[in-house]
Structure 1
Amino acid sequence: MNSIFFRTLLGACCFMMLLESCDSEATSVIGEDWIDNGTKVFYIDTFTVNTSTYKFDSIVVTTPSRYLLGGYTDPTFGHIKTTPYFELNSGSLYIDSDAVYDSVALLLDYTDYYYNDTIPTQKFNVYEVLETITPDEDYFYNTTTFKTDPTSIGSAQFSPTPIRSDSIHFTLHSDFGKQIFDDIQDNEINNSTEFLDKYKGIMIEADDANTTVIGISTTSKLRLYYSIANEDDTEDGYYDISINTSNSFNNITSDFSTTVFNTLEDQTDEVPSPLADNLSFIQAGSGLATRIDIPFIERINTLDGSGSIMDANLRISLKKNSSTDNLNTRDSLNVYIIDQKSEIVTTLIDYTGSTVYGRKLTDEFDSNYTTYTIPLKYFLDLKLNATNTSNLFLGITSQGFTDSVDRYILEGEGSEEKDLKTYLELNYALYNEY
């Protein structure tokens, strides 16, 4: 259908025959009451749309809304692992001189976020960070790391229950907590600068065999437990050290070696959907995104007469059964204008200045069919008026792209599922044809 459409664009007579054929499946006349005014409106859904997958070199993860802990292996996306780095915030730096140290624990508060299977036992190790946690050029990236002590200061094994429980209790090695306790109680450390000079932070690493990623709240804390003996009894107490959210972040690593996009080394690389079983992909955290190219839209300017796009929408659908309870997708997608290097130019907007999203449309008769629709009139007008139209593309990512690991499998333009293939539909008004 695409080749037929563009041959007609190159030949004026053939094009007019196509536009005036009300029986065509791809092009039809609407707004018949305009004909007397010399204006016709045509519905067209045969423009070439090319979809592909690319990967950002890195994504900014500064001040996340939650920390991500865990990892899992996906048959389509390979292995992803999330490792939070926490800088500690020492607080008041006072512990009663009569207090006797008991133990230390890391209390990680759940959020309502989790991804993949939480039923199996998960394993984690905690390490002390040996370098000052500071951002590179004002930002932390998903690729940022800091040196840690190779000896673990604590470990834990548990099955996460983010819906039923409030927090995770990591008991750490007693010596680690005792040193902090003594330094504060004995006034060896008197301010936050002295505290951070000695205690840079902590990092939590997931075992490679883990099966889930869980969300951890920014209210999580390190807690020192102690007791104070009174005349009649013993009073239990604790001293909390919070997380400095300004200098804490998620490191996110991925292994694509077994995937169809294992060739993505640079941000300029892409895997066209026809080479990936007619699919494109998005994965938050790792930087995977879908690219949309509409290469021949400018040929609409070759039509006889003046015309304009009245409305345009891109429709892109999830692969059937690729969204599950454990691997769920959201109701909207982020959409950006990107250049030939896949660098983000700007967030896509409409003519009111409002941000454009890909909005989910679920089939009322079959929930396995899920399509996102993206209004593109503004973008197409921009391409039609740009000096170099070939340098403008769309980049599609998920919501929560920097603080989740949500993944999407999207049908491409060559999908064998006719109702799910990616396509552009537009209404075009043509004035003064002759």
Structure 2
Amino acid sequence: MNLRISKAAAALFLSSLVFSACEDPTAIGLELQEPGTQIGTTYSDTATVKVSTVLLNDSVITLNSARVLVGSGSDATFGSLTAKTFAEFGIPTADIVFDANKGADSLVLRLDYDYYFGDTTQAITWNVYKLTEGFIDQRTYYTSSSLETSAEVLGTVTFRPRPKGTYVTLGATGDTLTRNNPYLVNIKLDKAPGVELANAILAQSGKEPLKTQQGFLDNLLKGLVIAPASTQNNGAVLGLNLNAVNTKLTLYYTATADSKPKEYSFIPTSRFFNQIQSSRAGTPLASLSAHGSSISSGAANNLAFMQAGAGLVTKIDLPYVTNFRTQNGVSKDLAVNKAELVIPILESSVANGNDSLKLPAIATVLESTLNNRISRTTGGVPNALVGEGTGAEARLEYRGKGKGYNYVVNITSYMQSLLYNRKANNGLILYPSNISATPSTPTNFAQTVNRAIIEANQGNTNPAARKVKLRIFYSTAQ
């Protein structure tokens, strides 16, 4: 097929629309060009792009996630956020019998953590409570879920997180080795209710409550809640790994026969989740309260936002793209050689030190519905754009200081589909998380609170203005 291309004609019919040819794209690869075909291409980055922030915090599954969160934080931009973890513990073997003893020495909860967000230079305080309501197998638990909890504190701890710590040990050859350190939070349940629980467990040695898992849950411990102290309104949010071998609830006692210390550990079951509560009162995002509600970038100080955990996503609308092929009511054949979104990150939010680590580790580009929800397959899986040439989900690529603190994503196939009405033009959602092929599997959206602030000066006509742009390299046929 030989296409005769007229760049002048393309520029003429585009002049009445929202696009204008403004650069000569001499350095791009024309992915759609057939061998031997001479194609001229035109470039535009003046398409109308609308940007908004949307709240999507309904039905975010967190049951048995790879990570659960505990902590709190607050700032003038995103508001306040509090995360709690609800966890069930179990007996690793049936028919537990303890050595003869004179009572418990202590009950200690050890928590392995592998994630942090926020200020780790200041001390944070956590409390542990006992569940008075158990887990139910038939129930799904979300970031909005909760279980009834005793008001009495079993134990408390105040500590400074050390997520980047290492320890040095001496090897057999005398060499000094640096190894990864398991980061543990140790909480001694030494308040009166905690001591009472420890002795209650010991007293049931060889009895029905320690013969089966259900007996343990029904009679001794339905589960625990780990939560930041109510006075803690800032600091860090940590991610706990409840599946780690170091995470356990250990009972310590001394045997009367030989006066030796003994211990027995209870481990988390597969039933645990984290609750995340947010308040945006007094911030530019205060109007975002109901699932699916949105606020334009213009009404939010020319900014848009993403934050996993809190349920904030960025919506990108391209309202006039479907008219791109039409001039005076006549449709033209057009090939999109390359199309990409350029999404500038607020420089002050990432320019200092390791601030870029605050950005979401993964941001997936999803199709939207008309009412600002995520478009899904009949099986409930989000409809993600496919990364050009990869077959995997399209994800935002962060380009740091050297390339202007931007996110970039290639959406060539998506644009071609829009132009020929093969997809509905309902917009795109920038989702600060991975997605799962199984709707019941938790994703990063429930397990992190990383965030991004996007500059969206969409009404600014200055070519140097930092705003979300759609860059298109295209060819038209005569």
Structures share fold, TM-score greater than 0.5: yes
Cα distance, 1:17–1:268 mapped onto 2, change above 3 Å: closer
Match of 1:167 in 2: 184
The CA distance in 2 between the partners of 1:16 and 1:338, in whole Å, is: 27
**Are 1:350 and 1:377, in contact at CA under 8 Å, matched by a contact in 2?**
no
Cα distance, 1:104–1:75 mapped onto 2, change above 3 Å: same
**Are 2:304 and 2:314, in contact at CA under 8 Å, matched by a contact in 1?**
yes
Q: Give deviations 1:321-355, integer Å, cap 9, x for gaps.
A: 21353662246422111112222221221465321
1:285 to 293, 296, 309: 309
**Are 1:115 and 1:405, in contact at CA under 8 Å, matched by a contact in 2?**
yes
Structure 1 residue 49 corresponds to structure 2 residue 95 = no
2:417 to 379, 382, 393: 382
Structure 1 residue 202 corresponds to structure 2 residue 212 = no
CA deviation after TM superposition for structure 1 residue 131, in Å? 1.2
Cα distance, 1:388–1:119 mapped onto 2, change above 3 Å: closer
The CA distance in 2 between the partners of 1:377 and 1:16, in whole Å, is: 19
Q: Which amino acid aligns with 1:361?
A: R
Match of 1:103 in 2: 106
Cα distance, 1:355–1:77 mapped onto 2, change above 3 Å: same
Match of 2:379 in 1: none
The CA distance in 2 between the partners of 1:363 and 1:350, in whole Å, is: 24
Q: Give deviations 1:138-192, integer Å, cap 9, x for gaps.
A: x321101011011122222222223336311111121111112222444443111
Q: Which amino acid aligns with 1:242?
A: I
Match of 1:3 in 2: none
**Are 1:413 and 1:423, in contact at CA under 8 Å, matched by a contact in 2?**
no
More strand by share: 1
Scaled by the length of structure 1, the TM-score of the pair is 0.86
CA deviation after TM superposition for structure 1 residue 96, in Å? 2.9
The CA distance in 1 between the partners of 2:22 and 2:137, in whole Å, is: 52
Larger mean CA deviation between 43-52 and 295-304 belongs to: 295-304
Q: Which amino acid aligns with 2:401?
A: D
Cα distance, 1:16–1:334 mapped onto 2, change above 3 Å: closer
Task: Tell me the number of residue pairs that the alignment of Structure 1 and Structure 2 aligns.
Answer: 410
The CA distance in 2 between the partners of 1:388 and 1:162, in whole Å, is: 45
The CA distance in 2 between the partners of 1:184 and 1:377, in whole Å, is: 66
**Are 1:298 and 1:389, in contact at CA under 8 Å, matched by a contact in 2?**
no
The CA distance in 1 between the partners of 2:15 and 2:185, in whole Å, is: 69
Scaled by the length of structure 2, the TM-score of the pair is 0.78
**Are 1:51 and 1:413, in contact at CA under 8 Å, matched by a contact in 2?**
no
Q: Which amino acid aligns with 1:52?
A: S
**Are 1:342 and 1:395, in contact at CA under 8 Å, matched by a contact in 2?**
no
Match of 1:6 in 2: none
Q: Which amino acid aligns with 1:337?
A: E
The CA distance in 2 between the partners of 1:375 and 1:175, in whole Å, is: 60
Q: Which amino acid aligns with 1:311?
A: K
Match of 1:424 in 2: 470
**Are 2:313 and 2:429, in contact at CA under 8 Å, matched by a contact in 1?**
no
Larger mean CA deviation between 97-106 and 312-321 belongs to: 97-106
CA deviation after TM superposition for structure 1 residue 73, in Å? 0.8
Structure 1 residue 363 corresponds to structure 2 residue 398 = no
Match of 1:261 in 2: 285
Q: Indicate the percent of aligned positions where both proteins have the same amino acid.
A: 24
RMSD: 3.0
1:26 to 22, 25, 30: 22
Q: Give deviations 1:406-431, integer Å, cap 9, x for gaps.
A: 11111114387936321000111111
CA deviation after TM superposition for structure 1 residue 267, in Å? 2.7
Q: Which amino acid aligns with 1:373?
A: V
